[in-house]
Amino acid sequence: MSCQLFDRVREDNPDFHSKIMAVSSELTQPGLGISTQDVERLTACINIVFHCAATIRFDEPLKHALQLNVMATQELLSLAQQMQHLEAFIHISTAYANCNRRHIDEVIYPPPVEPKKLIDSLEWMDDGIVHDITPRLIGDRPNTYTYTKALAECVVQQESAKINVGIIRPSIVGASWQEPFPGWIDNFNGPSGIFIAAGKGILRTMRANNDAVADLIPVDVVINLTLSAGWYTAVHKPKSALVYNCTTGGINPFHWGEIEHHVMSSFKRNPLEQAFRRPNANITSNYLINQYWILVSHKFPALIYDLFLRLSGQKPQMMRIFNRLHKAIGLLEYFSSQDWEWNSDNMSMLMSQLSPEDRKTFNFDVRQLNWPEYIESYCIGTKKYVLNEDMSDIPAARQHLRKLRNIRYTFNTVLLVFIWRVFIARSQMARNIWYFVVSLCFKFLSYFRASSTLTN
């Protein structure tokens, strides 16, 4: 609560922390590891449960993901049923729970397997067997995260006859748009780690579809929608569980190609400190082109840098960093290489149910989102709040980029001279080809110069 994120609320109400009570819990423990005293307090006074705890790791072993995302949800629903004054149970799912479909409606789809049956069968299997059968179980989903989130929705639906439930499905959650201030972000999840790696000049290439919709959703939009859904569920008590696809693509689409452009230009204007190279990343959907750039722009510079570190008596580290980055990118590419269509009618319906004043206070109208401005404050946010860099250091960071540019020019010149000496200067045929190419370039240059003089 001493975090900068709460500065605004602290200004408005210095005593705000007296309204908050922390309850210790461990999802993997029986009864969620909540003490008897806390259970009594919760069952006596809670009106609305917002369930967002989960593992969001894409490489989580299936058993663990099942325990955290499905069994813990089941346990919390059981606890919720004991709550004497419960009005609503809001479960946070993900828009990618059904990413094996191209068009996703605001309905709970039949689960890939009955959750209870899976829990029972995995119980007796050792981790090795579960690991071996995981790909068969998750089928056409990319990871255990999306698979277990789909199962969790089914578990929530099974309880919807007994309590009022609502399900929020955010897409790719990004930095804040407006509240409490633009650009707040505090982790490397989703695109944030990619933006930072590109801003540091480490990431130069990635597989993504330029024309696919980048369904980012600002975190404050998700929170405002979640709070509003809590109100609607408690007050209107819909007969069945309402699902809210909390997405931007259908309302205010923006594409990965545009994101790449704005991320790169933002980091050129506001560079990160101590960049490895000048920020200059490209996305491509072509596997072979991507592999070529990985070799030339990732592995080769990493080798040279590690060699330099070794020679200067330091521990090589760049290749290790790239290996980790490639692992992360490998897990994210599935989401940046294709697009999905989400129906978001319930989001619009909810907006129409709010009073004009509430619509302003709990703003989730993404039609007003200006993407270039948002991406700029997102990039600055990664600098300020994830990397804890100071904005006053920007002139020094720009100076560092200029130094890197000069190093690149020098390196390219040395390389050219080397190629000339080794390959071209030694063979008559290579020399002829070289002179031919150079004279052709000169002819083109003089032609363009002449034609531009004529036009002027």
Ligand X SMILES: NC(=O)C1=CN([C@@H]2O[C@H](COP(=O)(O)OP(=O)(O)OC[C@H]3O[C@@H](n4cnc5c(N)ncnc54)[C@H](OP(=O)(O)O)[C@@H]3O)[C@@H](O)[C@H]2O)C=CC1
Ligand Y SMILES: CCCCCCCCCCCCCCCCCCCC(=O)SCCNC(=O)CCNC(=O)[C@H](O)C(C)(C)COP(=O)(O)OP(=O)(O)OC[C@H]1O[C@@H](n2cnc3c(N)ncnc32)[C@H](O)[C@@H]1OP(=O)(O)O
Interacting residue ranges for ligand X, rule: CB under 6 A:
25-28, 52-56, 68, 92, 94, 149, 170, 172-173, 189-190
Of the ranges 34-42, 76-84, 198-206, 353-361, which one interacts with ligand Y (CB under 6 A)?
A: 198-206
The secondary element (H helix, E strand) that includes residue 89 is strand 88-92
- Whether residue 216 contacts residue 174, with contact meaning beta carbons closer than 8 Å, is answered with yes
Q: How far apart are CA 132 and CA 134, in angstroms?
A: 6
Residue type, position 201, single letter: G
Residue 59 engages ligand Y in binding (rule: CB under 6 A):
yes
Query: 164 vs 364, which CB is nearer to ligand Y?
Result: 364
Q: In angstroms, give the least distance from the CB of 216 to ligand Y.
A: 9
In order, the DSSP letters of 381-436 are HIIIIIS---GGGHHHHHHHHHHHHHHHHHHHHHHHHHHIIIIITT-HHHHHHHHH
Q: In angstroms, give the least distance from the CB of 173 to ligand Y.
A: 7
Q: How far apart are CA 139 and CA 56, in angstroms?
A: 19
Residue with nearest beta carbon to ligand Y: 193
* Nearest CA-CA partner of 260 in 326, 211, 307, 226: 211
Q: Which does 208 bind (CB under 5 to 8 A by kind): ligand Y, ligand X, none?
A: ligand Y
Q: In angstroms, give the least distance from the CB of 301 to ligand Y.
A: 16
Query: 163 vs 173, which CB is nearer to ligand Y?
Result: 173
Among 147, 232, 256, 293, binds ligand Y (CB under 6 A): 256
Q: In angstroms, give the least distance from the CB of 54 to ligand X.
A: 3
Query: 94 vs 363, which CB is nearer to ligand X?
Result: 94
**Using CB under 6 A, which residues numbered 157 to 176 contact ligand Y?**
172
Query: 79 vs 281, which CB is nearer to ligand Y?
Result: 281
Q: Which does 203 bind (CB under 5 to 8 A by kind): ligand Y, ligand X, none?
A: ligand Y
Residue 279 engages ligand Y in binding (rule: CB under 6 A):
no
- Whether residue 54 contacts residue 68, with contact meaning beta carbons closer than 8 Å, is answered with yes
Two tokens, residue 23: 């309850």
Query: 71 vs 172, which CB is nearer to ligand Y?
Result: 172
Residue 198 engages ligand Y in binding (rule: CB under 6 A):
yes
Q: How far apart are CA 349 and CA 106, in angstroms?
A: 12
Q: In angstroms, give the least distance from the CB of 362 to ligand X.
A: 18
Q: Which does 25 bind (CB under 5 to 8 A by kind): ligand X, ligand Y, none?
A: ligand X
Q: Which does 449 bind (CB under 5 to 8 A by kind): ligand X, ligand Y, none?
A: none
Q: In angstroms, give the least distance from the CB of 443 to ligand Y.
A: 36
Q: In angstroms, give the least distance from the CB of 23 to ligand Y.
A: 24
Among 70, 165, 175, 259, binds ligand Y (CB under 6 A): 259
Residue 298 burial (10 A CB sphere; 0-12, 13-18, 19+): buried
Residue 328 engages ligand Y in binding (rule: CB under 6 A):
yes
Q: Which does 53 bind (CB under 5 to 8 A by kind): ligand Y, ligand X, none?
A: ligand X
Two tokens, residue 418: 């080397």
* Three-state secondary-structure class, residue 38: helix
Beta bridge pairs of residue 342 = 104
Q: In angstroms, give the least distance from the CB of 170 to ligand X.
A: 4
Provide the mask over 356-385, with x wherever binding to ligand Y is found by CB under 6 A and - wherever it is not. ------------------------------
Beta bridge pairs of residue 174 = 218
SS3 content of the chain, % helix, strand, coil (to 5): 60, 10, 35
In order, the DSSP letters of 180-230 are SSTT---S-TTHHHHHHHHHTT---EEE--TTSB--EEEHHHHHHHHHHHH
Query: 34 vs 294, which CB is nearer to ligand X?
Result: 34
**Using CB under 6 A, which residues numbered 88 to 107 contact ligand Y?**
94, 96
Q: Within 251-393, where are the H helices? A: 256-269, 287-293, 300-311, 318-336, 345-353, 356-361, 371-381
- Whether residue 182 contacts residue 262, with contact meaning beta carbons closer than 8 Å, is answered with no
Q: In angstroms, give the least distance from the CB of 295 to ligand X.
A: 31
Query: 77 vs 172, which CB is nearer to ligand Y?
Result: 172
User: If you ran DSSP here, which 8-state letter would residue 272 be given?
Assistant: P
Q: How far apart are CA 195 and CA 201, in angstroms?
A: 10
Q: Which does 281 bind (CB under 5 to 8 A by kind): ligand Y, ligand X, none?
A: ligand Y
Query: 71 vs 283, which CB is nearer to ligand Y?
Result: 283
Binding footprint of ligand Y on the chain (CB under 6 A): 56-59, 94, 96, 172, 188-191, 193-194, 197-198, 203, 206, 208, 256, 259-260, 263, 281, 283, 324, 327-328, 331-332, 335-336
